[in-house]
Amino acid sequence: MFKTRTLVLCLLAVHGVGGEANFNPLQHSGPASPYFDAPSQDGIPTETPPGCRVDQAAYILRHGSRYPEPGSFQGWVNLFNKFQNASYTARGPLAFIPSWVPPVDDLPHEPPFLTSTGAGEAFSLGVDLRKRYGFTKGGTDFTIWSASQQRVLDTGAYFLRGYLSQGSYNSDLSLNRGFTISLPDSVNNTFADSLTPSTSFPLYTSGDRGSAMASQFRATYLPNIARRLNQHFLDGLVLDPVDVGIMQDLCGFSAEINGDTRFCNIFEPSEWLDYEYAHDLNYYYGSGPGNPFSATVGFPWVKAITDIFVAGPGRSPTGASATPPPLMMGFTHDNNLPPIISALGVWNTSKPRGAPIYPLSPTTPNPERMFRSSFLVAFRGYVALERLACDNTGPAQEVKHVAGTAASDKGNKPSHFVRIRVDNAPVPIPGCTDGPGATCSLSAFVKHVNTQGRVAGDFVDRCGLSGVPGATSRLQFLTNQPMPASVIPLPS
């Protein structure tokens, strides 16, 4: 077992949790964080264990870094107008305020689309996964699945370019190898067979206490920050708690839009940890384990991937009409990731020194909690499941080759294991870490998923959708032949 409390605390200190060493606000900005690899909170090495190879993998991820939503951008405009319509003297770390302008310079075309940082994040993931897994040979077609909002489709397109290292061939479409199956986004008629299933769940929002919990916690620290920052203004400008919240949001967004980190530098590490915890509360109670319907929403994806892993590479689960590729990529939005965490039963069970951490307190952050929004829903954040084929004898130290014969490992009978990754960091499956690199045997993982399914309940039943035409509790788009109109070639 890799997890030790001392190691966890050391890792978190490096990333700024519980100390100021190497503190980086962009790794504690929740959904405003540009992508970064999350730390291995359990001390599990991120490399594939020796003697193992990944033969199937499934990713569900948020789109890359974007410009603000229109409502958020209006808050930036209001803050800018407040700065410009007052007479004052700004000092010290706030001396840049009089010349600051919102980092959006093409209002009709930018919000809420992908930024160049987001495009780079997606391209980089494509490059990384092509090299990590080696699934796709040159000349092989590759298909991904995406929700249909433009920033999500664009994230998929840039991923394909990085993964396939090719452009778009407009003169001869037969040369295109990357394809996107576009699924309806945020509609209420696709039910569990969707990358945005919560929108088909009428009761889901009744369990959403996230916004209220976050607001309750923000009221405990934002006024204090406002009082501290107001000491840097003379003669006429007074910040209020709403202004401070917007300024903290601008740290991550400005950094990813145009590289401006001045808003990052005006807050103390403790203030960033409070900001992060407010986001933790929002996601934990809004779409994560604190929402009683979260696991129900996330389970269909987990179950579908589990069935595909049981069938194995190049095979289809019972009843499927298509064989999925060994790498299954689903592109969606931030609020569709916490339900996967809930369905898997992780980040909601640790009890150090006998004191329960969960459910999260709306007033008192526990620094030893595992659920952290910055480590999950940062831009391009993801949850991934990997199926590993492991040779129990370990990697060969000596191999004899006979001239004129091809190397073969047909004599090996690998065992199969499953690993969870969240923003690259391995996350142990509760009660099942006896495999290489704290992985879980495939058979034990299936039992774990079946247990989680009983906890989650049936999607249609829990949603109150019995009798609704077309209502389904199964996610099938990965193993069904798509309608031709839904397949989009890699765009120019």
Give per-residue pLDDT as tens, 165-223. 876 666 776 777 889 999 999 999 999 999 999 999 988 988 889 999 999 999 999 99
Q: What is the model's pLDDT at position 396?
A: 58
Residue that the structure tokens 């492991």 belong to:
390
Whether residue 230 has pLDDT greater than 70: yes
SS3 of residue 58 by DSSP = strand
Which helix (H) or strand (E) covers residue 132, if one does? Answer: helix 116-133
Contacts of 417 (CB under 8 A, 6+ apart): 52, 387, 388, 390, 435, 436, 439, 440, 441, 442, 445
Residue 115 has pLDDT above 70, yes or no: yes
Give the confidence band of 409 by pLDDT, cuts at 50, 70, 90: low
pLDDT, tens only, 47-90: 999 999 999 999 999 999 999 999 999 999 999 999 999 999 99
Residue 411 has pLDDT above 60, yes or no: no
Helix runs in 262-337, H state only? 269-286, 294-311
Q: What's the pLDDT at 352?
A: 58
Question: What pLDDT score was predicted for residue 464?
Answer: 93
Look at residue 6 in the predicted model and tell me its pLDDT.
36
Tokens of 113: 């689309």
Each residue's pLDDT tens digit, 272-327: 999 999 999 999 999 999 999 999 999 999 999 999 999 999 999 988 999 999 99
Bridge partner residues of 53 (DSSP): 389
Main-chain dihedrals φ then ψ at residue 142, nearest 5 degrees? -140, 135
Residue 34: predicted pLDDT: 98
Closest CA to 30 of 444, 337, 298: 337
Lowest mean pLDDT among 237-251, 299-313, 401-415: 401-415
- Residue 341: name the closest of 381, 291, 289 by CA: 289
Of 431, 434, 424, 443, the closest CA to residue 48 belongs to 424
**What pLDDT, on a 0 to 100 scale, did the predictor assign at position 346?**
95
3-state secondary structure of 62: strand
Give yes or no for residue 265 having a pLDDT over 50: yes
Which DSSP string do the residues of 418-438 spell out, in sequence order?
EEEEETTEEEPBTTB--SGGG
| Amino acid, single-letter form, for residue 412 | N
pLDDT at 407 over 70: no
Distance CA 27, CA 423 (A): 12
Is 264:26 a contact under the CB 8 Å cutoff? yes
Of the candidates 287, 417, 329, which has an alpha carbon nearest to the alpha carbon of residue 125?
A: 329
Q: What is the C-alpha to C-alpha distance for residues 374 and 34, in angstroms, rounded to an integer? A: 9
Per residue in 446-484, pLDDT (tens digit) is: 999 999 999 999 999 999 999 999 999 999 999 997 766
Flag whether pLDDT at 111 surpasses 70: yes
In the chain, the amino acid numbered 107 is L
**Residue 9: count of CB within 10 angstroms of its CB:** 15
pLDDT of res. 477: 96
User: Which backbone phi and psi does 458 adopt, to 5 degrees?
Assistant: -75, 135
Kindly give, in sequence order, each residue whose CB lies less than 8 Å from that of residue 447, ignoring residues fewer than 6 positions away. none
Check residue 226 and give its pLDDT. Answer: 98
Query: Angle 241-258/70-84 helices, nearest 10 degrees?
Result: 110
Which secondary structure element, helix H or strand E, spans residue 440, and what is its range?
A: strand 440-441
Q: For residue range 29-43, list pLDDT tens digits in order.
A: 999 999 999 999 999
The domain made up of 33-66+113-203+287-394+414-489 is a member of CATH 3.40.50.150:
no
Evaluate whether 80 touches 101 at the Cβ level (below 8 Å): yes
- CA 6 distance to own-chain centroid: 27
**Looking at the chain, how many residues does it have?**
492
C-alpha triplet 121, 122, 126: angle, nearest 5°: 115
Task: Please give the mean pLDDT across all residues of the chain.
Answer: 90
Contact 65, 312 (CB under 8 A): no
DSSP string spanning 75-89? HHHHHHHHHHTS--E
> Is residue 380's pLDDT more than 80?
yes
In whole angstroms, what is the distance from residue 151 CA to residue 330 CA? 14
- Extents of the domains making up the chain: 33-66+113-203+287-394+414-489, 68-112+209-276
**Residue 345 CB-half CA count within 13 A:** 16
Looking at residue 136, what is its pLDDT? 87
Asked if the peptide bond before residue 359 counts as cis, ω within 30 degrees of 0, the response is yes
- Least Cα distance to 349 among 377, 330, 368, 331 occurs for 368
